[in-house]
């Protein structure tokens, strides 16, 4: 059980432990930032998502895109030309289809 003051936990253990560590963290009441891949087996990944939804917590998969060409070019454009006021962003990684049950919530 986690200390009540723990709000977020980074799961950076070997991939084979991600399911166990992420799930138990969510069940203990903290949000999870998980290194990729979230799990080895897709069924375990869906299990973690279901637990996150049940606990009303976030599970975030970290991707190191900071230095990708598209990101650095976008940052340069934003810094030099601006984009106006941004209120919310929502997206899905290309190549990873959005689950059908999530499409209706957009």
pTM of the model: 0.59
The confidence band for 7, taking pLDDT boundaries of 50, 70 and 90, is confident
Per-residue pLDDT reduced to its tens digit, 17-73 = 999 999 999 999 999 999 888 899 999 999 999 999 999 999 998 776 767 787 788
Residue 5 tokens read as 């003051």
* Per-residue pLDDT at 79: 87
Query: Domain map of the chain by residue range?
Result: 8-83
Return the pLDDT at 99.
61
Going through the chain in order, the beta strands assigned E by DSSP cover 8-11, 31-35, 59-62
88 vs 1 pLDDT, higher one: 88
- Contact status, residue 51 vs residue 27, Cβ threshold 8 Å: yes
Q: What is the pLDDT of residues 60-106, one digit of tens each?
A: 987 767 677 877 888 888 889 887 777 776 665 555 555 666 555 54
- CATH class name, domain 8-83: alpha beta
Q: What is the C-alpha separation between 84 and 102, in angstroms, rounded?
A: 28
Counts for the chain of helices (H) and strands (E), in that order: 4, 3
């Amino acid at each position: 059980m986690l200390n009540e003051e723990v709000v977020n936990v980074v799961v950076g253990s070997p991939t084979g432990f991600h399911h166990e560590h992420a799930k138990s963290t969510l069940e203990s009441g903290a949000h999870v930032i998980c290194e990729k891949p979230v799990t080895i087996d897709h069924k375990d990944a869906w299990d973690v998502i279901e637990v996150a939804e049940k606990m009303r917590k976030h599970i975030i998969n970290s991707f190191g895109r900071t230095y990708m060409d598209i990101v650095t070019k976008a940052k340069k454009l934003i810094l030099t030309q601006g984009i106006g006021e941004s209120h919310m962003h929502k997206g899905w990684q290309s190549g990873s289809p959005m689950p059908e049950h999530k499409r209706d919530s957009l």
